[in-house]
Structure formats: structure tokens, C-alpha cells
Amino acid sequence: MGLPGKVLAERLNYSFSRPELLETALTHRSMGRKNNERLEFLGDAVLGLCVSESLYELFPQVEEGDLSRLRASLVNRETLAAIAGELALGDELLLGGGELKSGGFRRSSILADALEAVIGAVYLDGGFEPAQRLIQSLYADRLKRLPPPAELKDPKTRLQECLQGQGLQLPEYHVEAILGKDHEQRFQVICSVPGSTFRAQGEGSSRRKAEQAAAAAVLKRLTQ
């Protein structure tokens, strides 16, 4: 029986001279000491550098803070897991019995870590340029679809900046109600702007999420 990952390598359009690196990249820690955690560490660094360079070239006028937000939107767990899903990477993961039974091949954290490990494996096998080409290929569509950097700021930050730009006072947040049982609480928060009629309610599974929802509602009113 051959080493795992052959189909994945074809999807990556990369031929490993050391296919055992890909096998290690696909091996979860539930399989024992020889697993993909070290490759994940390496791949994370390579991914961050390549995405940073792409953003630097694509957005020559964008400041560091916005570049950081753009990068975070591309290298977070959800995006990595989505790319791993597009590659059907979960089908080739090597998981221990417990992870297999619990559906580990579908878990976002495992998929994201494995994709970073695969990037690390390509880097070790072929060097920086093949790893960079792979990352550019995986992210090509997402880089084209990036929203304006300002839209990546959370609603509370955008609301504060909008209010300051209009010479209005900073918003205040008040928890109006906490609903549900302890393990499934829902928070209702009121966001209001002192000295104005701008006021809205937001709801979420945490106080922070409810505040963000309320801020987004007030921001929508301000910008209509």
C-alpha cells in the first residue's frame, strides 16, 4: 500500500520528492508522537509571510493596521478549514480511533492545522518558491474578493470612528436582559449615543456579540 496523500498531492499540483513529509502532515496527534504539529508550526509561519507579501503588493496605500486585519481574515481557522474542505483534505487525514469516531475529519481546528502542516511539508520538500506558489493558488480567488479594509473593523470600532468624525459623543452600552439558561444564554444590549436619538438593540450569545450587533444597528442608522 502506498503512502497516503497521493490524491491530495494531485489537487495541490505538487509532486513531493519526499512523500513521507506529506504523510506526516496528514497525521494527527491522536496517532502518536510522530504527528503534524511541528509541520503546522512551520507552515503557519510560511503562510503568514506569503499572505503578508501578497497583501503588501495588492494594497500599496493601505496602512499596517488594515493590512493586519486583512491578513487575519485570510489565515484564521475558518478560512483555512474552508480551503481544506475544498481540497477534500479531511478524506486523507490519519486519525486515531477516538477522533475517527467523533468525526475529527470534519473538525475545523483539525482541518486548519493539517492545511498549515501541508504547507510546511511543501516548504521543507521544495523550498520557499513552491510553497509560495501553492499559497497563491489556494488564495487567488479570496484575494480577489477581499472587502475594503475598513469593512473588516468590528462594528464597535467603526461606530466610534463614525461618531468621532461627525463630532458626536461616544456610544454607551447597557445590558437590557439576559435570557435562557446558564449554558445557552442570550444577551440583549442597548447601544445609545448621548445627546442624540440614535439608539438600537442587539442580541448575541455573549455580551460582546450583543454589543457588536447593537453597534452595527446604530451604525446602519447613521450611514443611511
Q: Which segments are annotated as binding site for Mg(2+)?
A: 40, 113, 116
C-alpha cell at 137: 493558488
The yes-or-no answer on residue 116 being catalytic is: yes
Please give the annotated binding residues, written as ranges.
Answer: 40, 113, 116
Which of 92, 99, 116, 125 is flagged as catalytic? 116
CA dihedral 136, 141, 142, 147 (to 10 degrees): 130
- Encoded amino acid at 154, one letter: D
The yes-or-no answer on residue 92 being catalytic is: no
DSSP 3-state assignment of 85?
helix
| E strands, the chain, in order | 172-179, 186-192, 199-204
Sheet containing strand 199-204, strands side by side:
172-179, 186-192, 199-204
Which of 44, 92, 99, 125 is flagged as catalytic? 44
Could you give phi then psi for residue 56, rounded to 5 degrees? -60, -40
- Are 84 and 172 in contact by the 8 Å Cβ rule? The answer is no
CA dihedral 72, 74, 76, 77 (to 10 degrees): 170
Length reported for the chain: 224
Q: Active-site residues: which are they?
A: 44, 116
